[in-house]
Amino acid sequence: MKYTIDKQDKYMLIQLNESKLDSTVSPQLKSEFVTLHAEGQKNIILDLSQVKYIDSSGLSAILVANRLSQDAGGIFVLAGVTDHVMKLIKISQLDSVLDIMPTVQEAVDAVFINELENDLGKEGND
């Protein structure tokens, strides 16, 4: 699996450098998400701008990352989703479950907004 990771203070950006997110790539991606979660990473942005095809195992890996981030009180954001991949996400009705942003920058903004909301929520509970 070809990918790059850009680790920032508040989030981790994973850019998938594959044209397909299918059963040949998904297990590695899923284990990467589990590892990041174990290391305490709760905010993950997955840049899918180079992915032209996704199958059920790819969607499964994405759902695992989404659940792990939510369980940790963070946010998982998809960015740069191509038309074909978006079509499959919508057919699977996952567009109502996942946070999807057009660009990586908008995904970064979503992470910071989520962090602010979490901080404000904590202050309200004190």
Token couple for 116 = 């602010």
Q: What is the pLDDT of residues 41-55, one digit of tens each?
A: 999 999 999 999 999
pTM score of the predicted model: 0.92
- For the chain, domains (ranges, CATH) are 3-125 (3.30.750.24)
Query: What is the four-CA torsion angle of 56, 12, 32, 36, rounded to 10 degrees?
Result: -120
Q: Which parts of the chain have pLDDT scores under 70?
A: 123-126
Model pLDDT, residue 125: 61
45 three-state secondary structure: strand
* Number of C-beta neighbours around residue 39 at 10 A: 9
Answer for the pair 69, 75: CB distance below 8 angstroms, yes or no: yes
Reduced 3-state DSSP string for 1-18: CCEEEEECCCCEEEEECC
